[in-house]
Structure 1
């Protein structure tokens, strides 16, 4: 039995980047041919894509944990690791993506619309990519960056032109069954419809969709009955049609009071009371229903509603109703602003944006936050002294050490790089020069030194000067 699910919590994890490789080329009569470690592959992304063939979130209800594949590590011989495969998750048209706090991240409407829910981690550089004029034989490589992880909520809001609203058993399912080819469940007891039903109606040259959704009762806007599960599905509809029962057996109900209650619920939910609305007086095939319809019609028209008397069972008044709906839908489509071409907004960094922040916390710890330093820490193999020195070079060139001194940090003070739950903490020791600059020729091997012509020596010196002015991140091919 097919089950309709329109709200799920999904846990997504992108693939992690592969580690770079530290390798030295070797061949006969040339045991040290230089570094040839390849780069790690990038981790796969997790992407949500609208697919018209998908109508429910049921699959994610049963399998809420989804992960993309990791990138492969680099290998010797300058062989880069294979990138991870993106995980593409098809979702129904009209899916809204929210974070756990209820903030909207994306509204996916239209075939092929996509949203990257989690970014794959970048692969680490191999020692071949880290080699330079000063660092001819790096004995380390960068680690891959872990992929992003996120808990998101998917909500489905039905995409239709017309929504039929009304009390349970007002005849909405019967009406959609005769206006379109939809075959919803129809019975003579309340809440027969538990999930939205969609039908396609053709009136002249206009083709539009009509939604039959679960019935409303007083308090629905606060979640009573099917409440919010219903109202969510009429948010996108251009026209609301009140289906009023003129042959109800409940003595305390009548079409006017039913209309007032539904209108109040639409108003309480927010915004729905301002949509174009029409009134359908259903079940006029019943003698008492016909009399009641004629009695209340003048009052409804005095309120400004277009009123139609119909019978879904006897097929009375359906043609006039379908063409009237086509007219209103056509007007709503014409009034809708045309979609603009995708615009790329470029926001340049402020001239004083260092790319990181240094804040002293209440316990005296200095915390460094920023995309680059946090990523660099994750890419560092702290079991390799040379890799640690390389990290020190990068942080020093970025200005972290100068900012720590400016913030009042002294020798021996605790410094943390990264968020509280995943930080690298160390005792700070200020230096005039960090890492490779202090060690001089770290990353070189005298066995690789060969006599160089004067012109070559000049080029190497110029390369060293140029490198000292460059951002280390420039070497990363991402």
Structure 2
């Protein structure tokens, strides 16, 4: 049964924002006391957080679909809806978050480091929040935004100071079991270790972590054996330890050739050239192993390696090895630059950035893209004429109508707001008053106003239409 997983694809969905409420205050002798609809609650976020007690991504392998809760809708009496609860997902230290194309989104190192994988939707405003001196009694409210959703890939790169690398059955698991309190599986057949093992070593005043990487073989960097799956676990180490088997029973192998093969695989994987190396000639408790170690040691030292002879079974040479590793790690930690205080980089928008774009597509459709127009469309209840009129006002104030005219749009042309797979498409009727011919002063509950004579309403509507038409006729986009 799988007990260690270091790569999963996670499907995350944040909570939707709650809808705003359109409500009118009512009490005795005051049936229309003004708008009192509350705002909707915010949807919950999906947050990844580093937890030192978590060492594998196994939970997400079995349950890859995770969703935060939705915000509650607003209510009358100025009662806002409850925010959705954030979904906090603990991940191991050293987890890298990528999108499906392989682009790195976040590198989570250090206890408590967080990353918002999916952001919850905003809650919609109630009609009380939409009221103003011009719009005293809105008869509508804004809808809550849907939460973000998508797929992210989580990859675990073990955070260890020392990485033991070598051929299968070279004795890496035995070595880590005697240097630390780790209890890996040990047997006399290749590929006994199927997952990286992590142990903690104390040498004098230095405490460091050590990991053994499942056996590498020629072609590991291209996917042979287990190498490609676990080579990522050596990326964060401070020192590489080559564990060479001096008592191998395979006639076509020798320790020096093994070292050259593993170095070639590390070079093919890339990014490890600056790591210091140590060579451990293991299994010197066997007479033939001791003789071979003494024979090849001078050659390895000429190459510039620090060489240690050791036996995990007989506990030989372990103290010297652990203190040598502690010395290298202490120096690496001292040379590591201190982390600077977090800096906030502010990148102001260009002065001519309108916040949206208008483009003419091949099929003659004008497409409007931008954060604000797309968000406003998602918040609009298109079954409510007042809400549609309010959207038209917002788009007009933003300058969308003017840009459509400059792009050459004419009455009856198709306009789409949003991406191709999720857009609102309508036939454009240009009016500089943003639809005044349809609703007059939109966004007001006319039950709260003194009624105007029918003839007066017709004259006002005709005047607004004529004014809009004159503005359009006089406008020269070129």
TM-score by length of 1: 0.93
Q: Distance in 1 between matches of 2:432 and 2:354?
A: 20
Q: Distance in 1 between matches of 2:445 and 2:56?
A: 62
Distance of aligned partners of 1:446 and 1:380 in 2 relative to their CA distance in 1, 3 Å threshold: closer
Q: Quote the offset at 1:412 in angstroms.
A: 1.0
* 2:355 equivalent in structure 1: 355
SS of the equivalent of 1:272 reads coil
* 1:399 equivalent in structure 2: 399
User: How big is the alpha-carbon RMSD for the aligned residues of Structure 1 and Structure 2?
Assistant: 1.2
* 1:12 equivalent in structure 2: 12
* 2:456 equivalent in structure 1: none
The answer on whether the counterparts of 1:359 and 1:366 sit within 8 Å (CA) in structure 2 is yes
Q: Which is further off, 335-344 or 384-393?
A: 335-344
Superimposed CA distance per residue, residues 217-262 of structure 1 (whole angstroms, 9 cap, x where no aligned partner):
0000011100211201101111000000000011110011000000
Q: Distance in 1 between matches of 2:199 and 2:86?
A: 35
Q: Distance in 1 between matches of 2:220 and 2:200?
A: 27
* 1:155 equivalent in structure 2: 155
* 2:121 equivalent in structure 1: 121
* 2:77 equivalent in structure 1: 77
Superimposed CA distance per residue, residues 105-147 of structure 1 (whole angstroms, 9 cap, x where no aligned partner):
0000000000000000000000000011111111100000000
Q: Distance in 1 between matches of 2:175 and 2:182?
A: 10
* 1:279 equivalent in structure 2: 279
Q: Quote the offset at 1:269 in angstroms.
A: 0.2
Distance of aligned partners of 1:43 and 1:446 in 2 relative to their CA distance in 1, 3 Å threshold: closer
The answer on whether the counterparts of 2:386 and 2:439 sit within 8 Å (CA) in structure 1 is no
Q: Distance in 1 between matches of 2:417 and 2:429?
A: 15
SS of the equivalent of 1:229 reads helix
Superimposed CA distance per residue, residues 59-95 of structure 1 (whole angstroms, 9 cap, x where no aligned partner):
0001000000000000000000000000000000110
The answer to whether 1:99 aligns with 2:103 is: no
SS of the equivalent of 1:325 reads helix
The answer on whether the counterparts of 1:241 and 1:280 sit within 8 Å (CA) in structure 2 is yes
SS of the equivalent of 2:337 reads coil
The answer on whether the counterparts of 1:13 and 1:150 sit within 8 Å (CA) in structure 2 is yes
* 1:473 equivalent in structure 2: none
Correspondence list, 1:373-452, <5 A: 373-435=373-435, 439-445=439-445, 448=448
SS of the equivalent of 1:169 reads coil
Q: Quote the offset at 1:442 in angstroms.
A: 2.9
Distance of aligned partners of 1:437 and 1:203 in 2 relative to their CA distance in 1, 3 Å threshold: farther
Superimposed CA distance per residue, residues 140-173 of structure 1 (whole angstroms, 9 cap, x where no aligned partner):
0000000000100000110000000000000000
Q: Distance in 2 between matches of 1:115 and 1:445?
A: 44
The answer on whether the counterparts of 2:138 and 2:445 sit within 8 Å (CA) in structure 1 is no
How many correspondences in the alignment?
450
The gaps in structure 1 that reach 5 residues or longer are 451-478
The answer on whether the counterparts of 1:393 and 1:437 sit within 8 Å (CA) in structure 2 is no
* 2:201 equivalent in structure 1: 201
Q: Quote the offset at 1:272 in angstroms.
A: 1.6
SS of the equivalent of 1:422 reads coil
Q: Quote the offset at 1:273 in angstroms.
A: 3.2
The answer on whether the counterparts of 1:95 and 1:156 sit within 8 Å (CA) in structure 2 is yes
Q: Distance in 2 between matches of 1:69 and 1:271?
A: 41
The answer on whether the counterparts of 1:173 and 1:212 sit within 8 Å (CA) in structure 2 is yes
* 2:47 equivalent in structure 1: 47
Q: Quote the offset at 1:431 in angstroms.
A: 0.7
* 2:270 equivalent in structure 1: 270
The answer on whether the counterparts of 1:263 and 1:273 sit within 8 Å (CA) in structure 2 is no
* 1:316 equivalent in structure 2: 316
The answer on whether the counterparts of 1:124 and 1:144 sit within 8 Å (CA) in structure 2 is yes
TM-score by length of 2: 0.93
SS of the equivalent of 2:48 reads strand
Distance of aligned partners of 1:21 and 1:54 in 2 relative to their CA distance in 1, 3 Å threshold: same
The answer on whether the counterparts of 1:215 and 1:230 sit within 8 Å (CA) in structure 2 is no
SS of the equivalent of 1:53 reads coil
Q: Quote the offset at 1:333 in angstroms.
A: 0.7
* 1:454 equivalent in structure 2: none
Q: Distance in 2 between matches of 1:227 and 1:393?
A: 61
The gaps in structure 2 that reach 5 residues or longer are 451-478
* 2:228 equivalent in structure 1: 228
SS of the equivalent of 1:274 reads coil
Q: Distance in 2 between matches of 1:108 and 1:228?
A: 21
SS of the equivalent of 1:261 reads helix
The answer on whether the counterparts of 2:43 and 2:71 sit within 8 Å (CA) in structure 1 is yes
SS of the equivalent of 1:359 reads strand
Correspondence list, 1:276-355, <5 A: 276-355=276-355
* 1:464 equivalent in structure 2: none
